[in-house]
Structure 1
Amino acid sequence: MAPYESDDAQGADRGEEARSGRRRAARYAVPVAVVGVAAATIGLVPALADSGDPDLPRITAQQLIQKIAASDVQRLSGTVKVSTDLGLPDLGGLESGLTSGMTSGAGSGSADPQARLTELVTGTHTLRVAADGPDRQKLSLVEQGAEYSVIHNGKDVWGYDSKSNQVSHGTAPAGKDRRAEPPATPKDFADEALKSVDDTTSVTVDGTARVAGRDAYKLLIKPRQSGTTVGAISIAVDARTGMPLKFTLTPKSGGAAVLDAGFTEVSFARPAASAFAFTPPKGAKVTEREDAPGKGAQRPGKGLEGIQGKGLEGAAGPTVLGKGWTSIATFDTGAKGGLPTGAKGGDAAGFLGSLGEKVSGSFGKGTVFSTRLVNALITDDGKVYAGAVTKDALVKAADAGK
């Protein structure tokens, strides 16, 4: 008998409503192809509870991935803590200016979801989340004395910044990807990581844990390739529902996690309908968006294989070199002399240039900008090579490209 088969049987008794919910939730599921990954990749040793951790039935990585794929959590509410430590230098006010320039000119106080949720790339943040099926979600970024919320209710998507009293309104994406906000929860990140599982990856079960008061199994994902900056990804999976409760990505260099997103509290009861109701407050400035949030949104994946769209200053989309965790995205900015120096980026480019490391090879000369996870090489003839790989791997890719 598979672990928790009794839970699945109970779910079957919910009748047609549950089956309908599963059809609506198809877009949330990890691709079935992941379940069929070769046994050489998936660890077959059952998990045993560590001392002090919950004593759960034995389960293999293959079974645990199947449990995640079969998970059908439609309704929940809770609090998520997200911590990101890329090891970026303190740029003072420049950092916010750069972020603003990367998000269609939306600056401080903007209510646009794509602009505001880029704040999650640095520091520690508290999010309140709620969901009631594919047509109703709410995500709130809680700050000192203020709150920013994205509310998806049917066809409407609202962004509201309480501090500036600004409102952004748009239409939810149609089709399979109807989510209105960028990835922010453990499930969002876990789904992307699991899509990356292939023969370049080792997947095992690493014991059990308690997360947000719930028993969980720990799934451990590790690159088999050398040359990547990714050390490991740990996913805590709710033992009853199969939903990821915590996602942790640690770099190969060690130290604190680059990304740690986990529930501190969670409930699977249906949230009140009022949680998704929104009317612009009196006196609020309302901006209508032409493009739905989430259109063209970048979701993290293995290496930089998930990158889509344009490069800098309208450059053509990137080409991906290599495979797996050592894949490198490259594109030509068309800007000679290294860093692009557009109308908005001249001063910033000069400052960032002083932070990079000068390198050279048969490709010529360039500058490498390093974080604890993603590194990028900008050559003096305007080409960019970037990935979750080492500096040496970038230089080697640039040499091979000549």
Structure 2
Amino acid sequence: MAETRKASRYVVPLAVAGVAAATIGLVPALAASGDPDLPEITAQQLIEKIAASDTQTLSGTFKVTTDLGLPSVAGLADSFAGGSPSGGSSSVDPQERLTQLVSGTHTLRVAADGPEKQKLTIVDGSDEYSLIHNGDDVWAYDSASNEVFHEKGDASDRPAEEKELPGTPKELADEVLKAAGDTTSITVGGTAKVAGRDAYQLVIKPKQGGSTVDSVKIAVDAKTGTPLKFTLASVEGGKPVVDAGFTKVDFARPAASTFDFKAPKGAKVTEGAAGADGADGAAHGKAPEDLEKEFDGLFGGMVPGAGGAGAEGMNVIGEGWTTIAKIDTGAPAPKTGEAPQEVQGFLDALGDKVSGKFGSGTVFKTKLVNALMTDDGKVYVGAVTKQALVDAANAGK
């Protein structure tokens, strides 16, 4: 089924290109000493190499660190859902658990054997959370709570791919470079050793002023063309906003037993919609589709051309890296004292009071995405600086 096909995107995108595809690639500054001496390559040739990559099998360890510059949210979750940080949802829910990767530092073990077999394990001390896709089955297991999530689909119902891609690596590279246009610089920024392998660095930078993005980098395996390490850096400097990459990788086929799963004795098992009621088609479990949308929403706006269509009623201002979404909520901003103390403290830590021709409002800021909420209920949001948001609001008056 279509949903089962999407389930296969749980693991490989996260391990190989999930964060990379959504954010165009993320990589911190790599040490100059010990960099491998590789043949020269142009940006277009490197993009062609990535496009031609057909990595079907791999296993390894993957580390993801995300630093949006947010204040501590301790106690914030308890202000909602009656004190339940998860809002009452199961700790084994894939949508909930995988979206936790967008904050803090996480170590993952990954394995893949083609489009039908993938496994991702989030390691948290002695506890582990595993997500396994094996044929028609998707399993999630949380060792801390001994809970299992299971979803099943019929492979015979899977539709053929509907999206036509450029026919050759060169055509795809041409499309990428064409999309960059006048707003983006794409270059090769030297070489590096990543997870013990020789790699080239593809560097993507905005040409426009006003973006919060300083650079986006991809470390590309020199032999296979597989993205190995990715970083998104903010103009604020300091730690990268996202630093994600392999610390160990092996492109040999993993053992078949890697993808086997049997619910442990005494585990609580939650079936997806199809497994619970025997329905198919639209009644199939929604976790894969919801998760895909979640990651699109979280990462889709970081770079030009990424992400889906805008929300209904949203106006888009500008283009490229300095695109701003304007939304008229029709509701005035909450007044001080209306929110719980923990929530108000969190908002105050995030916000800067601003004023201009538009009136007054508050800019809620992170190292990447900033949002201006005016006192009359309009919201301006984008991966742009505070001044760019104020200028957009002033221009709207």
**Aligned 8 A contact 1:135 1:154 in 2:** yes
Whether 1:52 aligns to 2:34 is yes
Farther-moved stretch of structure 1 (252-261 vs 345-354)? 345-354
Residue among 288, 294, 297 paired with 1:297:
294
Which residue of structure 1 lines up, in the alignment, with residue 180 of structure 2? 197
What is the CA–CA distance in structure 2 between the aligned matches of 1:66 and 1:214, rounded to whole Å? 19
- Aligned pairs for 1:191-270 (under 5 A) are 197-270=180-253
Deviation at 1:168, TM superposition (A): 2.1
Residue among 351, 357, 366 paired with 2:345:
351
- Aligned pairs for 1:58-73 (under 5 A) are 58-73=40-55
Which residue of structure 1 lines up, in the alignment, with residue 24 of structure 2? none
Which residue of structure 2 lines up, in the alignment, with residue 83 of structure 1? 65
- Report percent identity of matched pairs: 59
Offset from partner CA, 1:213-272 (integer Å, 9 cap, x none): 111111111110000010011211000000010001111121211111110000111111
Whether 1:321 aligns to 2:317 is yes
What is the CA–CA distance in structure 2 between the aligned matches of 1:362 and 1:278, rounded to whole Å? 61
**Aligned 8 A contact 2:138 2:150 in 1:** yes
Offset from partner CA, 1:101-131 (integer Å, 9 cap, x none): 9x99455x61111111222122211011111
What is the CA–CA distance in structure 2 between the aligned matches of 1:157 and 1:317, rounded to whole Å? 36
Farther-moved stretch of structure 1 (124-133 vs 318-327)? 318-327
Whether 1:163 aligns to 2:159 is no
One-letter amino acid of the structure 1 residue matched with residue 325 of structure 2 = A
One-letter amino acid of the structure 2 residue matched with residue 354 of structure 1 = D
Label 1:111 to 1:63 Cα distance change in 2 as closer, same or farther (>3 A): same
Residue among 74, 82, 102 paired with 2:56:
74
Length, aligned pairs only: 338
Which residue of structure 2 lines up, in the alignment, with residue 43 of structure 1? none
Label 1:263 to 1:212 Cα distance change in 2 as closer, same or farther (>3 A): same
Contiguous gaps of at least 5 residues in structure 2: 1-11, 22-30, 163-175, 273-284
The structure, 1 or 2, with the larger RCO (C-alpha pairs under 8 Å, 6+ apart) is: 2
**Aligned 8 A contact 2:80 2:87 in 1:** no
- Aligned pairs for 1:279-298 (under 5 A) are 279-289=262-272, 290-295=285-290, 296-298=293-295
Deviation at 1:340, TM superposition (A): 12
**Aligned 8 A contact 1:303 1:327 in 2:** no
Tell me the C-alpha RMSD between the 2 structures: 3.7
Which residue of structure 2 lines up, in the alignment, with residue 371 of structure 1? 366
One-letter amino acid of the structure 2 residue matched with residue 326 of structure 1 = T
One-letter amino acid of the structure 2 residue matched with residue 83 of structure 1 = T
Deviation at 1:302, TM superposition (A): 4.9
**Aligned 8 A contact 2:109 2:121 in 1:** yes
Label 1:328 to 1:224 Cα distance change in 2 as closer, same or farther (>3 A): same
One-letter amino acid of the structure 1 residue matched with residue 320 of structure 2 = G
What is the CA–CA distance in structure 1 between the aligned matches of 2:160 and 2:80, rounded to whole Å? 32
TM-score normalised by structure 2 residue count: 0.75
Farther-moved stretch of structure 1 (265-274 vs 149-158)? 149-158
Deviation at 1:377, TM superposition (A): 1.3
**Aligned 8 A contact 2:199 2:221 in 1:** yes
Residue among 66, 74, 93 paired with 2:75:
93
What is the CA–CA distance in structure 2 between the aligned matches of 1:201 and 1:137, rounded to whole Å? 34
One-letter amino acid of the structure 1 residue matched with residue 40 of structure 2 = R
Which residue of structure 1 lines up, in the alignment, with residue 7 of structure 2? none
